[in-house]
Structure 1
């Protein structure tokens, strides 16, 4: 028996459906670099490209440029070009970007607060995996 609520019948969207336009927004936000850019810009002050690149250790210029363009396209960030030599470009979150940036900051805070427990769980899992024969596992999910 289907107990799901199909929002399409009521003028909404259903993110669980393959063709739902919301999925493209979720894919963007779920990207590691998007999340980090949004959190870096979350303090509501404009940042220049080089400053963002230094803040996001490991990001390439190409990936950062692609990420910033996608965020601007979706209305989560603004790009302001100042007519100087060389041109000065600043990036800042829009109101929507600030909203999602706040949510992602909460996830970042949770990740930092729980990293020790996550690492311990990983080590425990890896240790169990080395002691079990291939193809044999125990499930703590109640047989799901």
Structure 2
């Protein structure tokens, strides 16, 4: 009964799981999470340098979204100029194991997927 309700909610578009996956599956979120996992705290400029093909605006939007979801925290230091540092929250760190699984799956299947893409074109 509960499984049927979940399926109906997914079909009707009122599924919180779909919303969370959509939020994480944009072009940058998982890369930002991975980058933050490599350093305990990072300033905006450090993040921007680490992900050199992301625009400042897109990094700002992505960080705000991840902060709103509780995956990233932002610490503002009252200095001149202000210093802002970002880090993963406990919830953000809990996403790393599933993310590693996805990365490993992608590595294992890259050749097959690329071959399939070539034959599809």
Same fold? TM cut 0.5: yes
| 1:25 to 2:23 alignment | no
- The structure number with the bigger radius of gyration is 1
In 1: Cα distance, 2:29 partner to 2:50 partner: 13
How many positions carry a matched residue from both structures?
Answer: 120
Q: What secondary structure does 1:71 align onto?
A: helix
| CA deviations over 1:78-118 (Å, ceiling 9, x no partner) | 00111222211111111111111332233223323432332
Q: What secondary structure does 2:75 align onto?
A: strand
- Give the alignment of 1:43-54 within 5 angstroms: 43=38, 45-54=40-49
For structure 1, the residue ranges without an aligned partner over 5 or more in a row are 127-144
In 2: Cα distance, 1:25 partner to 1:52 partner: 23
TM-score normalised by L of structure 2: 0.82
| 1:124 to 2:104 alignment | no
